[in-house]
Structures are given as structure tokens and as C-alpha cells.
Chain A
Amino acid sequence: DAGVTQSPTHLIKTRGQQVTLRCSPKSGHDTVSWYQQALGQGPQFIFQYYEEEERQRGNFPDRFSGHQFPNYSSELNVNALLLGDSALYLCASSQQGAMTGELFFGEGSRLTVL
């Protein structure tokens, strides 16, 4: 049973560029959340997708957008990259309505903005 898979694992972009990160949730999960983890910090919630719609959003600008596909996979898009966007981007999946509240995280995509 594959867990949460993310791609790419590492990428380097320059300021002003755009980036797309991809996530496949754990089998049986229908909800995907994205988190940004700056070096030495805890992950910060970006947004959550369920039934192909953004359901919740954290304190991130509109440059951060996403999408969920019918197969529950998801993309995170970041436009007009800033140096401060350099971070590990984590995808987490869960099953809507699950009692445990547990999220399963992928290994992340490390973005470096030069």
C-alpha cells in the first residue's frame, strides 16, 4: 500500500518564476492538505482540498493556489516566486470524517528559490 507520494523531490527556481508541485494521496484517502515547512520551523497549513474544492485556507497569499483531481491527487502552484518561498512543501492526506484526525505526510518537495 503506497503512502503519500510527492514530486519532484527537489527543484530550484529563480525569483518571479512559477512552480507546480504534485501529490498522490494514500490509498483510500480523499482529502489532501498542503503545508510549508521553512528550515528549522514547524509546518504551516496552506490549504485543504476535498471533493475537488478548496475547503480551508491558511494565511498564505493568492500566489499560492491548488487543484484536486477526480482521482484525489493534487497540485500546488506558486506564482511570482519570492526568496522567502524557499521551503519544504509537504502534502498530507486523510479520509474525510475519520475519527482519529491523523494526517499521513509525504516526504515533501524541497523548493529553493534563487
Chain B
Amino acid sequence: TQLLEQSPQFLSIQEGENLTVYCNSSSVFSSLQWYRQEPGEGPVLLVTVVTGGEVKKLKRLTFQFGDARKDSSLHITAAQPGDTGLYLCAGGRGSSYKLIFGSGTRLLVRP
């Protein structure tokens, strides 16, 4: 069974602080997606990374795919209350129709 483990499971920080969320696996993925989900809504795709070592930036969010394509990280600079939500990583493998989802990191940014 392919597993994606996310850490930490829960994070509560003060507005303005930086944070990093991790997504790790023993399996290689051909792509990795990060989603953010707010209460009562569906997950929203933030970014997709496909190349080992790839770094993508989305405003204050920086996403990195590990060189071996087994892990990924999400770094948020100067977190804001609007960043509060559940962050999910999901991995895809080749031609498979399915995605493997991590269990999520719940982020709370306090004003």
C-alpha cells in the first residue's frame, strides 16, 4: 500500500510566523499535488509538481518536490489568518487513474 504521511497533523501559529508542512513517502510519484480545504468546502488545487527538485512559488507559498520524487514540502512565509485550513498532499503514479492522499495538516493562523 502506498502511503503519504503528512506532518505535522496540526499546527497553530501566530500571524506573521513562517511554517513548513511535510509530505513523505517511501514510494516514487510521477506528480504531487497540494490542495487547501476550508470548512464546508471541497479541496482546492494549489499546485502540481512533476520534476524532482522542482520548486514552485505561489505568492507567499513555496512548494518543493524532493529530488527522488518521494517527498514534498510546503513553506508559508508570514502566515495570515486567511491561510487557515486543511492542507492535503496527493501523489499520482504514471498512468494510474487514482491519487494517493495524505491525511492532511490542519493549520490555524491566529490574528
**Chain B associates with chain A:** no
Binding site for B on A (CB under 8 A): none
